[in-house]
Structure 1
Amino acid sequence: MSTTDHAPENRTAPEKAGVDNARLASANERRRLARTMCLHMVLVGISFTFVLPFLWMVLTSLKPLAEVGVGSWLPSAFKWSNYADVFRVIPFARFYWNSIFIASWVTFLQVFTSSLAAFSFARIRWPGRDKVFMLYLATMMLPGLVMMIPNYQIMISLNLVNSFAGLIIPAAFTPFGTFLLRQFMLTIPTSLDEAAEIDGASKWRVYWDIILPLCRPGLITLVIFTFIGNYRSFFWPLVMLKSIHRYTLPVGLLFFDSTRGQTTNLLMAAVTMSVIPMVILFVVLQKYLVKGIQLGGVKG
């Protein structure tokens, strides 16, 4: 028998240990790869489940009315004219503009007021600060419907019913935004404030030139949440608005209610167009959203 046949038996202990370690590492790598593939398959399945309703909505928006709810998901012919009919049946462009206008103003005011309040709670020491913050935070526990009647009575007394200001002003302040930005500001070293104040910077300069730029991920996170939340707000605009030309998109879509005639395909076309701003906003700013959520809870 040749010497090569006895090679495995002639290996030294370190060589055998090295071979065993290599085999173990290879087995661990295969198991890790298998787990990763299984996880990805599960995530793809979950993602498809979330995308399925949106896909149905888009395909339904391209169907003739007679094919809605019957037959296959795919239309026999893609009816792109449904999107043009939406603008013909209702003042969709006006509703679109109203929603974007109101959501943009509310977003701007919420970010501004929340950042100021958060700066006060996180960076300035004053008597009773933490107690006031907890009291302010407790208002988050109140359901929105509980505050709707008092807000509506205040808007009546201010003669702001059926106006954009009546929708914007009550939503300009939010304890959630204050909490989110305060948590983010607590992660910023106070030495930056002290160094700026030694150089003669006022509290406003510290807030504007130092804290806000460092809070960009948190600010963008709040922008996304606030814009989307107010863009799709339904009940408060329904209560406040009386004139059709002031309707927002969620309220305006009631024109496609089945009591006014079966127009499911047009409703789906309108909804498809209405989600475009939210999708664009999320796609453009999603990396800041993830970073803001991660960093916002680092310190309490």
Structure 2
Amino acid sequence: MGRASDRRTVVRIDGGGSTSTRRTDTLAAEEPLEIRVRPKPLAVTMRTPGDDLDLAIGFLLTEGIIGGADDVVTAQLCAGAETPNTYNVVDVVLAADVPPPATDPTRNFYTTSSCGVCGKASIDAVRTRSRFDVADDPVTVAAGVLAGLPDRLRAAQRVFDRTGGLHAAGLFTAGGDLVAIREDVGRHNAVDKVIGWAVRERRLPLAGHLLLVSGRASFELTQKAWMAGLPILAAVSAPSTLAADLAAEAGMTLVGFLRGATMNVYSRAERVKP
């Protein structure tokens, strides 16, 4: 099974080139993961190895292929045919009453570590509607609690400490308690890993919770949060226009630029209390 990080030899140059030394550096691992919905391959994503079953299940949920844990009979990590010693394939068997995913046979999903919707064959295929109504979720969160969450997320990032190269997604209660955290080179993968964990723990919908992401709030991350029934999405960086529009449509609270005691609330600001 792949490791989340690995060592490489580098030449460290200091002083504008005046000195150079050879040293070892720890890098975040990036490897392909193929998700198969038996019997067909469905998607390949570039990810950091670890929590791969969570990633696969979260991906299926956020793409609208499954609605919960009961839709999955088995999910197992297995070796690929070409590289039998590396476990870079997740094989999923869906329940008999779950429709198989509709895919373009000439173009399966392919996502890089920086793009969660790159493999979609049409604009219409990008949007997937959630079965959960987050607009009526009565949850509120104190602004002071939100302000402290980035430090809590950062303190829990074990692999980031070694590599400096991973995104994180953290699931929190409205009181600021960390429920689950996942790291990955891809923002969308980290979110899928958290949501997949919640699916397997039968916690959906994630009413009364909030999701914090270490980067920006993009459209695909907002959509994934909505698919899991999350009423609040917070990001340490900027949201996009599509993310703000989707959050407003869904009735989700979207917080951006969450840094220190300041933040911008782009939709449903009444959930953030002084």
Q: Which interval holds the TM-score relative to the shorter structure? A: under 0.3
Bigger helix fraction: 1
Q: TM-score, normalised by structure 1?
A: 0.23
Larger radius of gyration: 1
Bigger strand fraction: 2
Give the number of the structure with larger relative contact order, counting CA–CA contacts within 8 Å between residues 6 or more apart. Answer: 1
